[in-house]
Amino acid sequence: MENEKKGIVASVFAYILWGLFPLYWKVIQHVTSGEILASRVIWSFILTLIFVLLIKQGKVLVKDFRELWQNQKAFWSLCLAAYLVSANWFIYIWAVNHDHIIQTSLGYYMNPIFSILLGIIFLKERMTKAQVLALLMAAIGVIILIASYGQIPWISIGLALSFGFYGLLKKQIALDATRGLVIETMFIFPVAIIYYFYLYFQGNMSFLHVDMKTNVFLIGTGIVTALPLVLFAVGAQNIPLYLVGFIQYIAPTMTLILGVFLYHESFGHTELISFSFIWLALIIFSISTILEMRKTYRLSHKS
């Protein structure tokens, strides 16, 4: 019971921090999205590596890397996952700093539905009737937006797809979240450094060239990336998966509230109708997941 409480608290705090991300990116919106992403990669790698060394897991990290290298499929899958999550980060940062926060919220609401679809296509998982209904509801919600805007909500779909494929790859690689983040960011670290050199020689670098506040917040991107992931790992280890699934909706709900009430982004009747279909899909999806989990739990305890 004590572990479950710890897991719930850790998960809630992780998703609250993710929900508050728009506030952070808005502070440094004068910095280009590419530089913010490069800073996030560089400082995530450096600070997470320091943390792993401080908790004396350096040897375990080396062992993880060696085992990955021996399994070439897992190694290159993690490399691809690293670039997918980087694409996800870039889309999110760019969207927030170009006043598309509501679209980011829609993207992360859609993510569980996309994950189901990817599981069916690539892992040959079977859908329940409730999940089919949820998928149809979500599709209707997206179609309403497309019909209203006259264009596809690429930001939402890009976020859902990039994170969905990232999750699909990560699901097949057993790796500690913190040490995994070190290895993931290590794959992108050289590209981020090269990009910083490019910015420097182009005279477009903000780090060390604007003010102390900008420097601190760019370095802080490493902390705000790593901390929620560590909290999420603690949560996922101590509470059932369906409970994590419920808690995850804290983040897109918070970003939606920030987008509408703090940054005054447009949210009219069309968006409300579209989001209502998405919310209904998530309710159906969540209830069906809980029922399936309970059924599995009862069957496992009978045997």
pLDDT value for 241: 59
- Report the pLDDT averaged over residues 14-28: 94
- Mean pLDDT, the chain, rounded, equals 87
The model's pLDDT over 86-134, given as tens digits with 9 standing for 90+, comes to: 999 999 999 999 999 999 998 888 887 787 778 778 877 777 788 788 8
231 token code pair? 């909290």
238: which residues sit within 8 A by CB, 6+ positions away?
3, 4, 6, 7, 10
Q: Provide the residue ranges of all domains of the chain, joining segments of one domain with +.
A: 2-302
The pTM assigned to this predicted structure is 0.86
Contact between 182 and 49 under an 8 Å Cβ cutoff? The reply is yes
Residue 263, pLDDT above cutoff 60: yes
Tokens of 186: 């290590």
Express each pLDDT in 226-259 by its tens digit. 888 878 877 776 776 556 667 878 889 899 999 9
In this prediction, residue 76 has a pLDDT band, given cuts at 50, 70 and 90, of very high
Q: Name the residue among 44, 39, 25, 141 with its Cα closest to residue 92.
A: 25
Please state, in angstroms and as integers, the Cα–Cα distance from residue 115 to each residue in 84, 107, 112, 242, 253, following that order.
Answer: 14, 12, 5, 14, 19
Mean pLDDT of 15-21: 93
The confidence score (pLDDT) of residue 48 equals 92
What's the CA gap between 222 and 39, in Å, rounded? Answer: 7
- Predicted pLDDT at 302: 64
Give dist(CA 267, CA 254) in Å, integer. Answer: 15
pLDDT at position 41 is 95
